[in-house]
C-alpha cells in the first residue's frame, strides 16, 4: 500500500508564535458548532502520524463537545491578530451563547472532517482524535498543581491526527507545495 504523506508544516514557525497568543479550536455536535481560544498545545508526531495536541479543561463546553464528537479544527489567525475575537472566544462559553454568531465569524466546510474552519483565519488544521488522556494529578509537580489546578479542573489532552493543513487561500491540501 502506498504510504500517504499528509502535509502538516504549513507556516509552522508563524503558527507556533501565534498559538502562544491564541488560536481557535472549533468543535461540532449535531447542529451546534462552538469555538474556543487555545494557547496550549502544538504539533507532534506519533505512530508515524502528525498530530495536533490540544489541552482542554473539564469545565469547557468544548470538552463536552469533544466527548460527543471526535473531530476538531484549529484555525490560526496570522495576517490580522483577531485580538478581540480571541479574547471573546476565550472568556465566553458556548454553553451560554453562540460565539461564532456573536463575533460575525464565517465558517467554511472542511475538506476531511465534518467540523468547519473559520474563514477569517489564515492557516487551518483538520483533525480526528486518535488518542485522549486526562491529566493524571499524581504525575504533576505540586508547584504546578497549586498554580494551575486548585479547583481540580484538569486538562484533557486530545491528540488529533492532522488530516489536512492548508492556507485559507489554498483550495487543495493535497498539493505538492508543502
Ligand atoms: C489566550 C487564551 C488561551 C486559552 N487557552 C486555553 C487552553 O489551551 N485550554 C483551555 O482549556 N482553555 C483555554 N483558554 C480558556 C477558554 O478559551 C475559555 O475558558 C472559553 O471560554 C471556553 O469556551 P467553551 O466553554 O465554549 O469551550 C484560553 C483563553 C485565552 C484567552
Q: Is the CB of 20 under 6 A from ligand 1?
A: no
HEC string of 10-64? CCHHHHHHHHCCCEEEEEEECCEEEEEEECCEEEEEECCEEEEEEEEECCCHHHH
d(CA 50, CA 41) in angstroms, rounded, equals: 13
Among candidates 78, 85, 99, 81, which has minimal Cα distance to 33? 99
- Give the pLDDT of residue 132: 98
What residue segments make up the domains of the chain, in order of their start?
Answer: 12-167
CATH 3.40.50.1700 fits 12-167, yes or no: no
**pLDDT tens track for 66-82:** 999 999 999 999 998 89
Among 34, 38, 57, 89, say which to mutate for ligand 1: greatest number of ligand atoms within 8 Å of CB. 38
Q: What would the mean pLDDT of 30-52 be, rounded to a whole number? A: 97
Among protein residues, the one with the nearest Cα to ligand 1's atom 9 is: 56
d(CA 37, CA 59) in angstroms, rounded, equals: 14
- Grid cell at residue 47: 505512530
Amino acid at each position: 500500500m502506498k504510504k500517504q504523506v499528509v502535509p502538516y508544516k504549513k507556516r509552522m514557525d508563524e503558527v507556533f508564535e501565534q498559538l502562544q497568543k491564541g488560536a481557535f479550536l472549533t468543535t461540532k455536535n449535531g447542529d451546534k458548532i462552538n469555538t474556543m481560544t487555545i494557547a496550549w498545545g502544538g504539533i507532534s508526531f506519533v505512530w508515524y502520524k502528525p498530530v495536533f495536541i490540544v489541552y482542554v479543561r473539564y469545565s469547557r463546553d468544548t470538552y463536552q463537545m469533544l466527548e460527543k464528537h471526535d473531530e476538531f479544527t484549529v484555525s490560526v489567525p496570522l495576517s490580522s491578530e483577531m485580538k478581540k475575537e480571541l479574547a471573546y472566544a476565550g472568556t465566553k462559553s458556548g454553553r451560554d451563547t453562540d460565539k461564532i454568531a456573536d463575533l460575525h465569524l464565517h465558517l467554511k466546510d472542511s475538506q476531511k472532517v465534518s467540523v468547519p474552519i473559520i474563514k477569517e483565519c489564515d492557516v487551518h488544521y483538520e483533525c480526528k482524535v486518535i488518542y485522549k488522556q486526562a491529566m493524571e494529578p499524581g504525575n504533576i509537580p505540586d508547584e504546578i498543581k497549586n498554580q494551575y489546578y486548585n479547583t481540580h479542573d484538569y486538562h484533557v489532552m486530545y491528540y488529533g491526527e492532522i488530516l489536512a493543513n492548508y492556507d485559507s487561500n489554498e483550495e487543495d491540501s493535497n498539493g505538492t507545495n508543502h
